[in-house]
Amino acid sequence: MKWIIVTGESRGVGKEIARRILLEGTYGVIGISRSKGAEVEDLQQLGGDRFVHLCYDLDDVEGIKTLYLKKLKPLGVLYGFVNNSASAYDDIISNLRVDPLEKMFRINVLAPMHLTKYVIRDMLLNKTKGSVVHISSISAHTGYKGLSMYASTKGAIEAFSRNMAREWGARGIRSNCVIPGFMDTAMSASLTDEQKDRIYKRNAMKKETEIASVVSTVLFLLSEQSSSITGTGIHVDNGTI
């Protein structure tokens, strides 16, 4: 079976990406997240043996090699990787603290870079023309108070994706980013309705970005329908300015 790795599949956008891949029926999903709650059980019931959940904390960057060799590689050929997991450390720069900043960079940048390393090696070993999709953020393209540090992690992963596409395109391995606007997810749950309203007024459609639209774009980039698209970022943000 050909597999697609989806990190952070236990909730929100990640769960919906995993669910849609399973419903489409071509690939199996390997979900990687810290916990196995009711949402993961739902995916297990939907996918059966086409869904595997691996409990792993991406803060442990050094353990990713073992994760690949002991858990991922034995499952079969990797076709795709959706880097969806993210940690948010929101604060203004004058309050910056090193420990949470470094943790955020480990989860948002270093871990997906290391996972991508082993995904590429697996694709080369199996002569797979695969696709890597990173979930970025509109905050990497326009300013929001308190998000400069988080945005820097997403800017880093976008730069990584562009250069990876150039390195491996000749081997049929693609890399792209999906850049969502603000969505109604757990990451934005701490915002008040007034704060959300101010954010939504900054986009052309004056509302939150629909999760379904983001997910459909991810599935498109994983599919052969996007075989000539690599090294780019697709904004799904209701026209945010």
Beta-strand runs (E) in 44-173 = 51-55, 77-83, 131-135
Q: pTM score, two decimals? A: 0.95
Q: How many domains does the chain fold into?
A: 1
CATH of the domain at 78: 3.40.50.720
Residue pLDDT, tens place only, 49-88: 999 999 999 999 999 999 999 999 999 999 999 999 999 9
- Residue 161 domain-assigned? yes
Within 8 A by CB and 6+ apart from 127, the residues are none
Question: What is the Cα–Cα distance from 87 to 107, expressed in whole angstroms?
Answer: 6
Question: What is the Cα–Cα distance from 200 to 188, expressed in whole angstroms?
Answer: 12
Please say if the pLDDT value at position 2 is more than 70: yes
Question: What is the Cα–Cα distance from 203 to 223, expressed in whole angstroms?
Answer: 29
Residue pLDDT, tens place only, 200-210: 888 899 898 99
Domain of residue 126 covers 2-236
Residue pLDDT, tens place only, 87-141: 999 999 999 999 999 999 999 999 999 999 999 999 999 999 999 999 999 999 9
DSSP state, residue 213: H
Q: Please state, in angstroms and as integers, the Cα–Cα distance from residue 183 to each residue in 8, 61, 231, following that order.
A: 16, 28, 24
- Residue 241 domain-assigned? no
Task: Give the pLDDT of residue 10.
Answer: 92
